[in-house]
Amino acid sequence: MFLNRNEIIQRRKGSFLLSEFTHRVIFWFILLTGLLISCKEDDGIQQDTGPEDRSSILLPDTGQTISYTNTWGEDSDITINSPAYTDNGNGTVTDEITGLMWQKTDGGEMTFSAAKSFCESLELGGYGDWRLPTCLELFSINSYDKVNPALNTTFFTRTTADYWWTNEARVEASSNVWVVNAGGGIGAHPENETISAGGTKRFHARAVRKTKASQDIAVRFTENGDGTITDNLTGLIWQKVHPSALMTWEEALTYANDLSLAGKDDWRVPNVKELQSLNNVSIFKPSFDKNYFTNVLSGNYWSSTTLVNSPSKAWDINVDYGIVSYNDKTIKENVLCVR
């Protein structure tokens, strides 16, 4: 709070304008007091183990609009950031939600090392600052109303890719690189699985670049002291401690809908993009930050997103390593709620 020179400080026996010197003293006193209070409030924040590049990002919705249950809280019930793309007419596509610019047609099958070199040397659309995407970035363009590929092919050219490379390797097995598959999942695969390295599968490269500056995040998570955690990267607020009971997918939706926590009752099961955004490729067993999510130790966690070509299944994540896959909705898994 800053003092306004035009404000009059009332005194018991009248009012009078303070001197220029007094104004300055009070201004700096209030400013420094605010800083000290802010530092004190941050004392409880534990050491952050998030990625080095902490730039804020809005998560596009999954694109899923079809309802698969009468239970409220499935993916299609929630609209926050509807996917929005612009074809720039020069071989590039801009994601209007994330601000990322993408190569419209991927670069084709190649080894991981070749993919890095290809992207870094790419000149496209008048730009030369292309690179391989992170896991979070590449996963963000998945479209979960489609499959094989789980992409909006109105904007992204359909190719023969089975997988697309990210720029991140598995922390305890660096020869395994995180890739997004054409079905919409994400996991780490050995570099030699691609055809160019002697394998049998097609791993392609799709380059990305940032189109605008985003806010740098000094600390990934904030402990709110009320049973919730704020993700400063995405702006989402998470349940700190998930229930110990395992639940079917339908049970998880009902639980989240009934949850009242921190004075809020708009909790829900996260969609698959929101759930995957908690994954930290620099840690494992668990791959969520247990300094904040204290009872997330192992196992699978439900998303609210249905597998579009098999509606009896829903997407989930295994937090041992962060692999996103799917399971039958009648299987009992963990649930971590979000708002």
- Same structural domain, 247 and 280: yes
The pLDDT value given to residue 325: 98
**Burial class, 11, CB count within 10 angstroms (exposed 0-12 / middle 13-18 / buried 19+):** exposed
Both 153 and 253 in one domain: the answer is: no
Both structure tokens of 306: 């249905």
Q: Which domain holds residue 23?
A: 10-41
Same domain, 203 and 84: yes
Tell me whether residue 47 is in a domain.
Answer: no
Does one domain contain both 324 and 291? yes
Q: In total, how many domains does the chain have?
A: 3
- Position 184 in a domain: yes
Q: Given 159, 188, 210, which residue is the final one in a domain?
A: 210
Kindly state whether residues 164 and 266 are assigned to the same domain.
no
User: Which residue among 191, 210, 229 closes a domain?
Assistant: 210
Quick one: 160 and 234 in the same domain?
no
Q: Note whether residue 310 is domain-resident.
A: yes
Q: Which residues pair with 177 in a beta bridge?
A: 169, 189
Beta bridge partners of 102: 93, 208
- φ, ψ for residue 222, nearest 5 deg: -125, 125
Q: Which pLDDT score, from 0 to 100, does residue 80 have?
A: 97
Q: Does residue 240 share a domain with residue 197?
A: no
**196 & 248 share domain:** no
What count of Cα atoms within 13 Å lies in the side-chain half-sphere of residue 332? 5
Q: Do both 194 and 229 map to the same domain?
A: no
Residue ranges of the chain with pLDDT lower than 50?
1-23, 25-52
42-70 residue pLDDT tens: 333 333 434 445 578 899 999 999 999 99
pLDDT at 56: 81
Task: Give me the pLDDT at residue 106, please.
Answer: 98
**Same domain as 318, residue 206:** no
Q: Are residues 226 and 141 in the same domain?
A: no
Q: pLDDT tens for residues 276-321?
A: 999 999 999 999 999 999 999 999 999 999 999 999 999 999 999 9
> Among 184, 210, 236, which residue terminates a domain?
210
First to last CA, the chain: 30
Query: What per-residue confidence (pLDDT) applies to 282?
Result: 95
CA distance 317 to 165: 19
198 lies in some domain = yes
Q: Is residue 68 part of a domain?
A: no
Residue 217: per-residue pLDDT? 84
Tell whether 24 and 111 lie within a shared domain.
no
Q: Does residue 5 lie within any of the structural domains?
A: no
74 assigned to some structural domain: no
